[in-house]
Amino acid sequence: MPKNTILMTGASSGIGYQASANLVQKGYKLIIPCRDTSTSAKTLHSLEQGISDKYFSSEDLLSPLLDLSDLDSIKSFSNELLSKYTHIDCLVLNAGLQYTGRSSPIRSAQGIELTIAVNHLSNVYLINKILPLLKFSKNPRIIITSSEVHNPLSPGGRIGEKACLGKLDGLAKGYDFDMLDGVSPFSADKAYKDSKLCNILFARELSRRLSIFADNIPVIAWAPGLVIPRTRSGFFRYSRKYNELGYLLFSLFARDIFRFSVTPQHAGELLANLCDDDLYKKEGFRFYSNKLVGPGLFKFEETEVSLEASNDNLAKKLWDLSCNVINVVSVI
């Protein structure tokens, strides 16, 4: 019986790596693109060490090159996929970055603010390029890693500047924006929160558009909780470069004293379950969150999104402006 194929971004470390290790042990075929040959080789070698499946083949675990901060790289990667594969069963848009602590924006290869380029626009481009591969799957599924910080009323969303896209006047300018709302001064922290809000608006609009064409593909956005690894790799590897002491103190209190955080292993297991558990094959859009219910205790459940994330008109506007910025014609 052919193995189901899962494509996952952001699988070289953290949640994505742990989920990949779980899924490859279960016998899935994984495509886990990495940004350079060194990262690709290290990731493959590390994952292969833990595989005990006697039926495992080198073709079951592939790591092609993909730089999500470069639209040309996304285009080349997508064209290669379309030429080599007849279908993909599950697409996991998990990659994300944050560089809180820096006072000025970093730009992508095309000059777009890096947080939005990687965390949001790369998702829009990938979906519009490789959606045909999902449509040819018998049981397709799309998963997008977001965060509770998209919601200004959540514990994490209340700290610091709040997620808010305004009228998207920044994005309407094209490449030349620092913040999506076009009004706020640059804040790497707010840019991250805004990108997580974009993830949910994008997921909801994607689901709406798919339903018009009777493509009943489950579209899942999810929040893993606060994940703080004990290594220098993982999600916070960029932020800690700009505030090492602040990161260490934050980790000490959030992870070790108050136990507000989850381990990458736990979050990776949740992501793996989203990929293959029948519980999550319901059609349409769903948002799940790993909520803190006590020190070291979490409950993973379907959750309401924020008021702004529920705005259908904003979701459509975000979709259209995003396609304009990356110069892609929407396939749906």
Give domain 5-326's CATH architecture.
Answer: 3-Layer(aba) Sandwich (3.40)
**Three-state SS at 284:** coil
The model's pLDDT over 320-329, given as tens digits with 9 standing for 90+, comes to: 999 999 988 7
User: CA-CA distances (angstroms) from residue 187 to 99, 179, 190, 319?
Assistant: 10, 8, 5, 23
The model's pLDDT over 243-301, given as tens digits with 9 standing for 90+, comes to: 566 656 656 556 656 566 688 899 999 999 999 999 999 999 999 999 877 877 789 99
Give the model's pLDDT for residue 331: 82
Q: Nearest-CA neighbor of 33 among 44, 48, 22, 49? A: 44
Give the model's pLDDT for residue 2: 61
Low-confidence ranges of the chain (pLDDT < 50): none
The domain limits of the chain are: 5-326
Give the model's pLDDT for residue 293: 75
CA 219 to chain centre: 13
Give the model's pLDDT for residue 230: 63
Work out the angle between the directed axes of helices 71-84 and 122-135 (0-180°, nearest 10). Answer: 10
Give the model's pLDDT for residue 258: 53
Give the model's pLDDT for residue 240: 52
User: CA-CA distances (angstroms) from residue 249 to 126, 169, 253, 257?
Assistant: 37, 36, 6, 11
Give the model's pLDDT for residue 214: 75
Pairing of strands 5-8, 29-31: parallel
Q: Nearest-CA neighbor of 202 among 123, 149, 294, 281? A: 123
| pTM for the full predicted model | 0.91
